Structure 1
Amino acid sequence: MSDRLANINCSLTGSVVSIPGFSMLSEAQRDMVYQEALRRQAMPICAETLADRLRWITPPIDEDEETELSRSLEAKSRNDLESDGCPPCYPPELEFPFRDPPQRYKPIIEYWQSCLRTDVVLCAQLSKWRQFRRSQTKIRSRFRTKPFADFIHQTRQRLQKYNIRVPFTLQPDPTKQNRLQNWLEYEDYCLRQLERLESKADQLRAELRLGSPKDNERPVRVFEGKTYTETVTIKLQRAEREIQQHHVLLRWVAQERQTMIAGATGNDGDIHGTAASENTWRNRLRRSQTRREAPAVMGNVRVSKVRPVKHSAPLPRSILQSTECVDNDRGDVRQGDDPTSQFHAGRKPPPNSSLRARLQKPVPPSRHGKARDAAAVRRASCQSQGTRQRAQSPVLYKTRSGRISKRPSRWVPT
C-alpha cells in the first residue's frame, strides 16, 4: 500500500505523483489518499476551465525588484572576488545598471556580458575565476609524482612566448602564493585557452580547404539544411569571433598585471596582497641563477646528502732549471737542458746525457777562458731575471785539472 501511495502512476497522462510525508500517515489515511487520487484521475477534464487557464497571462517582471536583486548579486560577487585576490573589472563608483560606461571599462564589461549572456557582469567574472581556481588544484595534482619545477618552466616559457618577461615563481600550494603570482598564473590560463581556440580555428580552416575532415579527426556535425562547407564556414566564423573577444580579456589582464607591478610596495605580505617590488624579484632571479635548487616533488620528502669538498691535488713544483748558456761547447750546460726536468716531466733522458757523465767530461784547456766568461754571463743573467725565475745562481767549482763543474741541484740516480 505504501508503494502505491508514494508513486501513483497515471495511466492516461503517464505522470507520476509523489506524496510527501506518506510514511507519517496511518494505514487508513494512506488508503483514503489513494482512493482520492484515483477518483481525481478518473474525473473528466472541463474544457472551459482549461481554456481559462490557458488565457492567463504571466504577470510582468517588476523592474525595480529585478534591479535591486542584480545589485545585491553584484555586491556579493565583488566581495568574493576581492577576498580571493581577483580585481573586479570595474570600480565600485561605477553605477549599476550600466547606461554609458567609460571607454576604459566598456570593452571588458561587454565581454563579460556576452560571455554568459547576462547583465550581472561580476557574477560572470566570478564564475570564470572559480574555474581557474579549480584548474590550479587540478594541475598541481598532476605534479605530485613529477617535479613542480617543470610546471613553473612551462608557465615561464608560455609567458615569454607572448613577450611577458616578469621574474616570478610559483608554489605547490596555491594558497601560499601572493596576488601577482596568482594573476600571472591566471594570465597563463587565459593564454592556454587562446591557444586552444586558435588550434580549433586552424583545424576548421584546414577542413574548409580540403572540403572534408581528415582521417584522424572527428567530422564536423552538419547543421540541418546546410551543406558540409556551409557548416564549417559558420563554425569558423564563430571561432574567429571568440578569438577576438578573448583578446579583449587578455588586454584587460595585461593592464591589471601592470597595475599590480606598479603598485607593489616591495613587501610580499603587504595589506593589499600585492607582490614584491622589481628589485626583490631581480635579486631572487639572481640568486636562482647562481644557486641551483633541487626540484620540489609534492608528496615526497627529499633529503640531500652533504658532499665533501674535493680539493685538487697540488701541482708539482717546477724543477729549477739552470740559466747557463755557454756558446760553442757541447759539453757545457744550456738553458732547459737539465736532465732532472725531463725526469720529472715523465720523459726518460737520453743514455749519454746524464748529468754525471756530462760533468765528468774533460774540458780542453783552450776553453778555460771561455768557460770563465760564460760563468760571468750566467751570473749576470740570473741577476737580471731575479724574482721571475726565482732561481739561485749555480755554484761552480774548478778542479785541479782546470775543469769547470757544477754541484747538482738534486741527487740523480746513476
Structure 2
Amino acid sequence: MTTTPPTGSDRVARALERYRDVLGAISDAAAAQEARRELPYAHVRELAARGFGALRLPEELGGAGLSPSEFSRVLVGLGTADSNYVQLFRSHFIYVEALLTAPASAQRDRWIGEVAKGALLGGAATERGATNSDRFSTSVTTAPDGRRLLNGTKFYSTGSLYADWVATIAEDESSGEVVHVVVRSGAEGVDLLDDWDGFGQRLTASGTSRFTDVEIESDWQLPETIALDSYATSWAQQFHLAALAGIARDAHRRVTGYVRERRRYFSQGRGELPKDDPVVQAVIGETSSAAYLAETLTEQIGAELDGLFDAIITRTVSPELEDHIELQVYRAQYLVVRAVLDATTRLFDVGGASALSGAQGWDRFWRNARTLASHNPIPYRLTALGDYELNGRSPFRAWFSGTDLSKRTAA
C-alpha cells in the first residue's frame, strides 16, 4: 500500500488544526489581555510545548517540515488570533532560520535539538541611542579567572521575557570584534524588563534587557558560521507582513460579525438595518479587500522566500536574487501597510460611538498596525525603491552601508 505524501496545504492545515484550541483561546483573550497588559506566558509556553517553535525544522529533526511559504500561512493564522504573538516569536524564528542555513556542525545540531524539544530564543540586539555603525556599548570581557562576562543594556528585546535563551550582540574588548552571544534567560545577572511603553503591540515584551557580569557558557554559543544576512532581513520583514495580514483578517471578521447582529441604525442611514445600509456595506468591503490584499502579498513573499532559502541551502544564491527579494518585500510592505491602516481606521464608521466601546477593543487593530508599520518607516522603503529604479543601487547593500558585516562573529 502506498501513501501519498502530504501537500503544502495539508501540512498547513495539519499545523493549524494542531493549535486550533490554543489559537481560539488566544483570540478570545486578546482584547482583555491587551487592555490589562497581561503578558500571555501560559499561551506562549503551551505553543512552545506543542512544537510551534520547531515548525520550520525538517521532520527528521523533530519539526513539521514547513517551507517558508507554508509557515507564513500559519503565521497569518496566529496573527489573526493576536498579532502580538507573531512579533514575540520573531527573534526565535530568525535564529532558527540562521541555524537551518548554516553549514552542518555539532554546535548547530545541538541547538536544533534544543529547538525541537521546545526551547525558545529571544533577541536583544538594539541599543537606545545607537548610531548606524558596528559599535556597541554592550561588551564581552575576560575576568582574571578566565570567565567571559557579558555587560550592557539593550532595548527592544522582543520576546525575550518568554524565551529560554537570549541572543544578543556585543563588542569583545580583547579583539574589538562584534560577537553574537547567547545566555540563559534565567542566568544570574540577566534582568529582563517589561517596560516597552509603545501604544501598540503591548504584549510583545519589547523592553529592556540588562546584563551584569553574566557568565558566558562556551558550550552554548551559536555556530561561528551563522549568518544574519539578506535572507534574515527579508525573513524578519515577513513577520510584520503576516502580523498585519492577521490584524486585517481579524478586524474584518469582528466588524462583520458586529454589523450582522446590530439592530440600531443611523438616523441618516439608508437601510432598515445596518447590514442593509450601503455605506456600512462599503466599509465591510474595504476591510475585506484589505485582508485579501495583505494575505495574498504575504503568501507571495513567502513563495519568494522559498526560492531564496533553497538557493542558500544549495549555495547558488546571488546578489541579484537577494536584491529581487528585498525589493519585493519593500513593495509589499508599502501596499499592505497603507491598506491595513486605512481599513482599521475606517472600520469604526459601521457603528458610530458604540463602535468605540472599550469592550470591543477595536482600537488595538489600528494601534498594533501602526506600531508594526513604524518598525521600518514606509518613506524609507519608497526611497530605496526609487533609488534602485533610477540608479540601480542595491537595497540590501544600502541597508548595511557603514557596517562591517565581516566583523560579526559568534562568541
TM-score w.r.t. the length of structure 1 is: 0.21
**Greater Rg, structure 1 or structure 2?**
1
Structure whose residues are more often strand by fraction: 2
Structure whose residues are more often helix by fraction: 2
TM-score w.r.t. the length of structure 2 is: 0.21
Higher relative contact order (CA 8 A, sep 6+): 2
